[in-house]
Amino acid sequence: MSSFENLLLSVVSPVYNEEAGVDHLVTEVIAALAKRVGPWEMVVVNDGSRDGTLDKLLAWHRRDSRIKVLDLSRNFGHQRALLAGLAHASGEIIACIDGDLQDPPELIPVMLRELDERNVDVVYGVRRRRKESMAKKTAYWTAYRVMRAVMEIELPLDSGDFAVMRRPVLDAVLRMPEQSLFLRGLRAWVGFRQIPFEYDRAARFAGDAKYTWKDLFRLAYNGIFSFTKLPIRLLGLVGVGAIAISVLYALFLLAAWFGGQTFPQGFTTLVLAIIFFSGVQLVALRILGAYIHRIYDEVRARPAYLVRAFWNDTPTPS
């Protein structure tokens, strides 16, 4: 068995129109890994950049064959680009890092040491402080707390995709052929032994964020719909609530009627019928939703379970 230091390390980084920063990225990763004993590779994914990013990457590749370039056919978005890079990484240890130097490459060796010494399977970055606009910070903060409250998995708060992990974890993540990708959710979902690693997220090295507000909403959306039944459950709750209200209202009207109150003809039946049947319809939708969610579960074909280890030594006969 080879020791931890000698395992092949893959550093995966997606880039989109990062012409101004990509040289810095590669330089910093090389510098961060300069003291590494074991072999490493860097898989940079060019996510359909329209600027000179690819040329710069290819120049690196010609100079240093450890820098590998995966060129996607068009822009697929950060999550899919990262997934593509992960699928093309051959390391036993894998590091994911953003291409804009917001995740400091010099932390990779520190996280690797944690992975080894604490004997865990994933060390994931948790942002201590963000150097971003107040609006974006608030949006992230809220989104994570809402998601945490409604999700079926333990979503690590304020975590991004910055992480180092061992091969079995990556293989587990790659077994899930999901379209609406939320990689940090999947990474949490697979289990294994994971520990957080606090770090300060730097400001972008160059250029503007490539994630637009639309992308952020889509990401949050994917997080919610891929990991919770909450929207469907809400339908059911509102439906049951409406039915309950109609029953209470009926009792109230009955009492008022006995008390000698008069109502315009047909009014009470109409109002009651509307509230009651709206409730019934929502409950019916909830039932349909439950079936649809089951279909969704089946087509998305997540593994029913994942094994971390199997101790099955045959006992030596005494």
Contacts with ligand UDP by CB under 6 A lie at 14-16, 18, 47, 75, 77-78, 81, 98-100, 102, 209-211
Least Cβ distance, residue 133 to ligand UDP (angstroms): 10
Query: Which residue lies nearer to ligand UDP by CB, 204 or 286?
Result: 204
Least Cβ distance, residue 108 to ligand UDP (angstroms): 15
Helix (H/G/I), strand (E/B), else coil: 126? strand
* CA–CA distance, 270 with 261 (Å, rounded to integer): 17
DSSP 37-78: -S-EEEEEEE-S-SSTHHHHHHHHHHH-TTEEEEE-SS---H
Residue nearest to ligand UDP (CB): 99
210: CB partners within 8 A, 6+ apart: 16, 17, 18, 78, 100
Exposure pattern of 68-83 as b/e (b: 16+ CB <10 Å)? bbbebeebbbbbbbbb
The amino acid sitting at 254 is: L
Query: Which residue lies nearer to Mg ion by CB, 41 or 215?
Result: 215
38 near 8, Cβ under 8 Å?
yes
Least Cβ distance, residue 28 to ligand UDP (angstroms): 13
210 binds, among Mg ion, ligand UDP, none (CB under 5 to 8 A by kind): ligand UDP
Query: Which residue lies nearer to ligand UDP by CB, 73 or 262?
Result: 73
46 binds, among ligand UDP, Mg ion, none (CB under 5 to 8 A by kind): none
Least Cβ distance, residue 145 to ligand UDP (angstroms): 18
99 binds, among ligand UDP, Mg ion, none (CB under 5 to 8 A by kind): ligand UDP
